[in-house]
Structure 1
Amino acid sequence: MTTRATGSVLMVTEADDLHGDALAATLRNHHGLTPIRLDMRDFPRENGTFRLASDGTGRSLSHVLGLDDVASVWWRRPQPCLVPGGADRADDDFRQAECDGFLQGMLWSIPALWVNDPGADRTATRKIVQLETAYRAGFAIPETLITNDVDEARDFLASRHGPVIYKRTGTGRGPFTETRIASAADLDRLPTIRHSPTTFQDFIPAEYDLRVVWVDGIEWAVRIDSQSGVGWVDSRLDTAVAFTPDRLPASVSKSLTTLMGALGLTFGVLDLRVGLDGEFYFLEVNPQGQFAYLEIKTGLPLFESLANLLVLGDGSVADR
C-alpha cells in the first residue's frame, strides 16, 4: 500500500520507545511518510509557542517542525514535561503545572484523528472504570475487591472458596509488577495496602490466555499457551510458550465492541482469560499496551494495521 497521507502523523512517545521506532519504519515503508516524533520531556528545554490571530492558529516547538500540518496523532506514551527543580516546592509545582498545561493544551487543540483521544485514554486507564464498563458490556469478570481497607481485604480472602490473586490497581510508571496468588504469608503484609489500594480477584484456572490488539473495530487476537509454562498465573511472564493467531467468538467480539465504544478508545491491547469452564473473562485493557512481541511471534501485521488507521482512517490490511 503506497497511499500518502494528506497531512503528517505525530507520535507522542518516549524518545527510546521501540514501538515508536517500529511504527515510524512502517509508515515509511508502507506510506512513504516520515512521522513527527515528540517526547514531551524535551519541554521546556525547547521553546514552544501558541498563537491565535484573525488569520488562524499557529503552533510551534523549536525542535519539531510541522505541527500545523498534523492530521493524525498516536498518543502512545505521553510524559510530564521535564521542569528543572528549584529551592521552593510550591514554585516547582506551579511551573510544572504551567508547562504541562501549555504543552498538553497546544497538542490537544490540534484538530486531528487521535489514537487515542487523550481524555478517553486517561479515563480508560483507570482499572475500576474498565471493570465496571466491561461488566456492563457483557463480559464475565472474576469476583473482585479493590480496597485499602485491611479488614475488607482479609474478609474477602477468607470468604473465597479457591485461590485469590492480587495485583496493582494503578497504571503509573514504575517497575514491572506481576500478578501473584495470595498466600498465607501475604496475610502479614496486608497492612501495606493502607497507602496503596490493591486489587484482589478470584483466580481463574485457564485453558489459555488471549491478548487482543484492537484497531478501531479490527481485532487481532493472539492465543497464548500460558498454562504450559511459568506464566500460568500471569501470561506476561513467559514468552517462550506458543503464540498463535486466533479469532474471537461473535458474542465476545460484540462485548469487545461495546466496551471499546463505551470507553471511547480507537486502540487498545486487551487481556482475556479463557477459563476451564469455557468462559471468556475480561482482565484489563491498556490503551498504551505492548504488542510488538505479538507481531514478532505470530507475523500478524499489527503495525501495518495501526499505520493504516493513522494514514487512511481505516486499520484494515489487504489480504488479511
Structure 2
Amino acid sequence: MAPGSVLIVSESADLHASAMTATLREQHGLTPIHLDLRDFPTEFGSFRVDRLGTTRSLSHLIGLDEVGAVWWRRPHPSVVPAGVRAADDAYRQAECDAFIQGLLWSIPALWVNDPGADRTAGRKIVQLETARRAGFAVPETLITNDPDEARGFVESRPGPVVYKRTGTSRAEFSETRIIAATDYAKLAGIRSAPTTFQDYIAAECDLRVVWVDGVEWTVRIDSQAGVGRVDSRLDTSVEFRPDTLPASVSKSLATLMGALGLSFGVLDIRLGTDGEYYFLEVNPQGQFAYLEIKTGLPIFQSLGNLLVHGDGAVPEWTD
C-alpha cells in the first residue's frame, strides 16, 4: 500500500488514533490521514462521477482517493455552523450525514470495521443473541423499560442481579452495579430509558480480549483482588497479564465476530468460579491502549499490520 493510504476517522484528541499514527510511522514508514468528522462542513467536500470514474475530495485532506484501508474508530456528527437556525438543523444534519458518510463509505477499501456492521454490532441485544447462538455462555438477562417486569425478574433470580446501560453512546460513564432493595423505588425511571438487568456472575477473574481479524490478544484481569469485583473497569491497579482462551471459547469467539461482521472489537468475558467463560459484551470501538501499556502485548502493531497488510499477525508473538 502506498504512503498515506490509511485513513483514521476519529476525534482529533483521540489518544488511540495518535498512538496508531505513531505506530504506522515507526513500523511502516506511513503517515495516515486523520479525519475528524466535526471538521465538516466547515471544510469543503465534493464527490464527482464521470466517464473516467469517481473522485472524492475534502479541502483539508490530501490523498482521499488513494486510501486503501480505513479505521472507523470514533466518528462524530458534524458541528452546527454559526448562523444555522435550530429549526433548520435537522435538515442540515441529514444532508451532511448523507454526503460525508456516502463519500467515505463508497471508498473501496479495507474497513476496520465496516460502518454498517459496526453500528449493528454495537447493539447489545444483537450481541447477546449472536453470542448465545455462537456457543457462548451468557448470563440470564432482561432488557426492559417495564418497571414491574424488571422487579419480577430481580426477585425471581436465585442470586444477585446487576443493572447497567443498554446503549453504547459516549455519554457519561455508567458503572455496572448490583441492584439492592433500596433501588426498587428508582425502577420507575427505566420507563424512558430501557435498562439491562443480568445475573451477577461470581468471578475468578475478568478477561478483556482484543480481536484483530482472527488474532486474539487476551488479558487476564485480577478484578476480584480490588474494588472492581462487579465492574472490572473501576480498578486498573490490580494485576493485568497476557493469557489465552480455551480452544472451545476461541471457536465461539471466531463464530461470534464472523456473524457480527467485525474485523476488530474489544470483548469483556468473565471467568466464573464455576469454570465457565461468560460473554458480557463486545465494543467495536473499544479502548485497549491501557492493556498494551500494562502487558506489553503488541496490539497497536497488530492492528497496524491489519490496516497495511490485511493481516493482524505479529510473527514474533506467534505461539
TM-score range with shorter-chain normalisation? Answer: over 0.9
Q: How does 1:1-320 map to 2 (within 5 A)?
A: 5=2, 8-84=5-81, 88-320=85-317
Distance 1:318 1:258 in 2: 24
1:81-123 Cα shifts (integer Å, max 9, x gaps): 1123767544210001000110000000000000000000000
In the superposition, the TM-score normalised over structure 1's length comes to 0.97
Contact 1:85 1:92 (C-alpha < 8 Å) held by counterparts: no
Matched residue of 1:319: which SS?
helix
> How many Å apart are 1:318 and its aligned residue?
2.1
Matched residue of 1:23: which SS?
helix
| C-alpha RMSD of the superposition | 1.1
Contact 1:6 1:71 (C-alpha < 8 Å) held by counterparts: no
Matched residue of 2:13: which SS?
coil
Distance 1:15 1:86 in 2: 24
Distance 1:56 1:257 in 2: 37
Q: Which amino acid is 1:318 matched to? A: P
Matched residue of 1:121: which SS?
helix
In the superposition, the TM-score normalised over structure 2's length comes to 0.98
Matched residue of 1:104: which SS?
helix
Distance 2:3 2:256 in 1: 31
Q: Which amino acid is 2:127 matched to? A: Q
Contact 1:148 1:197 (C-alpha < 8 Å) held by counterparts: yes
1:235-294 Cα shifts (integer Å, max 9, x gaps): 000000000000000000000000000000000000000000000000000000000000
Structure 1 residue ranges without an equivalent (≥5): none
Across the two proteins, how many residue pairs are aligned to each other?
317
Q: Which amino acid is 1:237 matched to? A: L
Distance 2:88 2:298 in 1: 48
4+ runs of 1 displaced by more than 3 Å? Answer: 4-7, 85-90
Q: Which amino acid is 2:126 matched to? A: V
Q: Which amino acid is 1:164 matched to? A: V
Contact 2:205 2:270 (C-alpha < 8 Å) held by counterparts: yes
> How many Å apart are 1:56 and its aligned residue?
1.1
Contact 1:27 1:34 (C-alpha < 8 Å) held by counterparts: yes
Distance 1:135 1:5 in 2: 41
Q: Which amino acid is 1:65 matched to? A: I
Contact 2:4 2:63 (C-alpha < 8 Å) held by counterparts: no
Distance 1:148 1:164 in 2: 16
Q: Which amino acid is 2:43 matched to? A: E
